[in-house]
Amino acid sequence: MNEFINFDEISRETWQNLYKTSIAPLTHDELESIRSLNDEISLKDVQDVYLPLVHLLRLYKKNLEDMSFSKGLFLQKIVKTPPLIIGISGSVAVGKSTTARLVQLLLSRAFPKLSVELVTTDGFLYTTDDLKNRGILDRKGFPESYDMERLLAFLYHVKNGEKCEIPIYSHETYDILPDQVQTIDSPDILIVEGINVLQNPQNQMLYISDFYDFSIYVDAEEELIEKWYLERFDSLLKLAKYDTTNFYHQFTKMPVSKVVNLAKETWARVNRINLKEYIEPTRNRAEVILHKSENHYVDKIYLKKF
């Protein structure tokens, strides 16, 4: 069966005409400030792809408010509108972090009176020590390396309008930062970004997908993602060259050919397997799939029919 049978495939040209506006509500410098390492994005991408997407999100926000109002009439009491929760998923190195930060910025401009927060599921990884104790350090990034119970509890508390504190992950130290937390206090909109955003842990009474009002999957062909991963690995090495506290500094002392082989091996042994077995199979759970071609160019959009 065609995996995209429940999606409308929309070309970029058609998509960009679904919502017309005169100017992008941000500058080139603002766009650069949120761009991830080795990701490519332009103001034209904002205009053509992301402004129509944000307009669609506004419709979902309005629908959530209308439903809460109608439910209140039915129950004969005031029902507070829960936060709109948006999930953004996709492979390592596909550019989902840039997409998440851009959507946050654009929604903040679209709803200037509302609070729009962003969290990454990296914060729910077990610490390096925990992974070692569990014997799964080599499975970091796979489903079992995340504290999914804690992530579920977090989403539940946010939906209930409760204040939460969550761990912060550092890509420099490659670990959870000790004694540091991110506080999320009753946002109107919450964006959750990560490779496991659309995954469901087994034997749960609650599923992560229960909490999302809208979800986005950033997609590309495997060969391209591998290319972007290797380019990003090289950029991380350059940044870590003189920083002895950086996890990647250890690799800067190795011969270039050995480092390249290590990166390729890590892709094949970890990231490719994770993509094929656990990330990509969740793609059709998303409401929207942003498909990228060369240079991170979004060429097609898939919109779920029902």
pLDDT of residue 210: 84
Q: How far apart, in whole angstroms, are the C-alpha atoms of residue 142 and residue 125?
A: 10
Instruction: Give the dihedral of Cα atoms 280, 289, 291, 121; nearest 10 deg.
Output: -60
pLDDT of residue 295: 94
pLDDT in tens, 234-249: 999 998 999 999 999 9
Annotated binding-site ranges:
90-97
Q: How far apart, in whole angstroms, are the C-alpha atoms of residue 103 and residue 285?
A: 19
Q: Please give the residue that has the higher pLDDT: either 273 or 203.
A: 273
pLDDT of residue 3: 81
Residue 100 buriedness (CB in 10 A; 0-12 / 13-18 / 19+): buried
pLDDT of residue 102: 96
Share of the chain above pLDDT 70, in %: 98
Kindly indicate the confidence band of residue 23, based on its pLDDT and cuts at 50, 70 and 90.
Answer: low
Q: Are strands 288-292 and 298-304 parallel, antiparallel or unpaired?
A: antiparallel
Taking domain 7-304, whether its CATH number is 3.30.160.270 is answered by: no
pLDDT in tens, 76-93: 999 999 999 999 999 999
Q: Please give the residue that has the higher pLDDT: either 39 or 169.
A: 169
Annotated binding-site ranges for ATP:
90-97
What value does the mean pLDDT take over residues 119-133?
97
**Cβ atoms 218, 212 nearer than 8 A:** no
pLDDT of residue 207: 75
Kindly indicate the confidence band of residue 25, based on its pLDDT and cuts at 50, 70 and 90.
Answer: confident
Q: Answer whether 0.85 is exceeded by the pTM.
A: yes
pLDDT of residue 22: 64
pLDDT of residue 202: 58
